[in-house]
Structure 1
């Protein structure tokens, strides 16, 4: 998130919008994409004893991770 902070601030200022909304949108998008991380899905599947179920998990969380705000 910190890498894009300057860009978000500049964009918010150009649009006369509160910077916090752009920060929040970036944070939500990053969190959603983390859910669909293959490593994260494999870790969860192994933790709950369902190794090999990563594809099923991706079908569930994949659409949420790319949903528009």
Structure 2
């Protein structure tokens, strides 16, 4: 897992997260809880994702399993 993994918020909490009037740091931090088990797929991808010059759908392709 990459250390810059994006935050995952369920759709029912989007309004609360995006509300510009919400300045309650504790409440907002609670929204940043880890994703529910089974809600993310993790797989190895090419190291090409490490270069900001690279862009395209091929960066999302899983690498073949290691033998």
| TM band (smaller chain) | under 0.3
- For normalisation by structure 2, the TM-score amounts to 0.23
Normalising by the residue count of structure 1, what TM-score does the alignment of the two structures yield? 0.22
